[in-house]
Structure 1
Amino acid sequence: MQTSINFNEQLVLVTGGARGLGEHLVRAFLREGAKVVINYLTSAEAANQLAADYPEQALALQADVTDAVAVQTLFAKAQAHFGQPITTVINNALPAFSFNGDARENADQLSWSNVQQQFEGIVKGALNTTQAALPGMRHAGFGRIVNVGTNLFQNPVVPYHDYTAAKAALLSLTRTLSQDLGPDQITVNMVSGGLLRTTDASAATPEAVFDYIAAATPLRRVTTPAEFADATLFFASPWSRSVTGQNLVVDGGLVKN
């Protein structure tokens, strides 16, 4: 039984890894010596360029995480390419969403289709990657699953009802999976951010909102995607070998978890 392995022995999948926060997550793991599968849905050019920067360590693979068959195919291709199973999954993929509170549906306008779209991408996507990863993780006797969450269900300052509900459900899944998979030496954790300066998703956020968040945060600044990515490394590192079912909030201290 091995409770941890070093980064240079891990094959990491980052879903939605071509752009935005995903790219920072990919680069953080590559920097630490891991091999990384860069999953993308439509951003082929960005994903392939990122992989080309690290030809020995990275592989770009297209798959819709809501499609279980496509996800299974991705895992098989990754194992064939690198000669080892994916041992670490970072569930970062985000369904289409604009982080602009003024443009989001309020309680009167919110439809179930809005909520369902977010649940499909966030919860179903994470379930698909987890299930595809289990055979390889069990064979290796080691597994790390890290789900990307949000601080908005603790600090719901904007009406992102659909997105926030799906991320809250993902936290619940994180905790139940940690209980279920612990005997296999697979840990399941969440890293939750707030507004990040700046990603593709947060590009629509008015500057006044960035200023408001910075002023309300102990560090008096908005967390960057690179800072968030660095914190995510902890849950894949040997130092977290006895940590599972947890939610680490990385937002400069705005939310006290």
Structure 2
Amino acid sequence: MPLSSCSPVSFPLDQQIVLITGGARGVGERLTRAFLGQGARVVVNYLESREAANALATASQGKALAMQADVTDSRAVAALVAEAQAYFGAPITTVINNALPRFSFDGDARPQADSLGWESLQQQFEGVVRGALNTTQAVLPGMREQGFGRIVNIGTNLFQNPVVPYHDYTAAKAALLSLTRTLSQDLGPDNITVNMISGGLLRTTDASSATPEEVFELIAANTPLRRVTTPEEFADAALFFASHWARAVTGQNLVVDGGLVKN
């Protein structure tokens, strides 16, 4: 079969329907606000943050829909996608896999090498990898139907620079990078791109609220930009991957940490 020379389908941000998992608080809230700011319609997925999700939806004047679902439950995710498509009258165009299993970036409280249990690793793999797989599989029919899709997975720079060895969290994110690359190979012919954005410590989110001030200062001092990246700056990269400007970019991991880690 000859390769097509036709231009692939493209959706401007203000015509997109974006599913953001864990989209009600922390980095997820900034991602939600970033896409709403560009005119996109947003499905704000949450697990427990009902009040925050509903507040975002109310303030959006009909542009956002708050929906509860556990991303580790494939049936719940499929139901969410079907309901969102019915509500907005079109398939989801972009997924931001941001949901984070319960975790705190507290180096003093992390499991050490001799105390790390498989249950900690399994919890992170379930939430990070299984969650991303569930959302991807749920949106694939709609993306294929419209000939367009953008999947953006949220990673970390810790698997390149494990300055604090969060074994469970980092292992799950590294596996998600592998899935990002293999999915990009599989879904490219459908005009579906799959990329990852890897941040470092962000100032400040719910997960980084336990981080001591001296750690923020150390990171800033060793970063070329001499400051710690903000959640808003991190969210800008998601807009890029969802946009027309990234139409030929897939299977990539973009590190957004002010230059601390060179990818």
TM-score (norm 1): 0.99
| Equivalence map 1:1-257=2 (5 Å) | 2-257=8-263
Rounded to whole Å, the distance in 2 between the matches of 1:103 and 1:91 is 26
Q: How far does residue 232 in structure 1 lie from its aligned partner after superposition?
A: 1.4
Q: How far does residue 55 in structure 1 lie from its aligned partner after superposition?
A: 2.3
Q: How far does residue 94 in structure 1 lie from its aligned partner after superposition?
A: 0.1
Unaligned regions of 5+ residues in structure 1, if any? none
Unaligned regions of 5+ residues in structure 2, if any? 1-6
Paired amino acid for 1:126: A
Deviation readout 1:68-125 (Å, 9 max, x if unpaired): 0000000011011000011100000000001011110110010000000000000000
TM-score (norm 2): 0.97
Rounded to whole Å, the distance in 2 between the matches of 1:90 and 1:130 is 10
For the 8 Å contact 1:89–1:144, the answer to whether it is kept is: yes
Number of matched pairs: 257
Q: How far does residue 8 in structure 1 lie from its aligned partner after superposition?
A: 1.4
RMSD across aligned positions (CA): 0.7
Q: How far does residue 3 in structure 1 lie from its aligned partner after superposition?
A: 3.8
SS in 2 for 1:66: coil
Rounded to whole Å, the distance in 2 between the matches of 1:3 and 1:114 is 42
SS in 2 for 1:101: coil
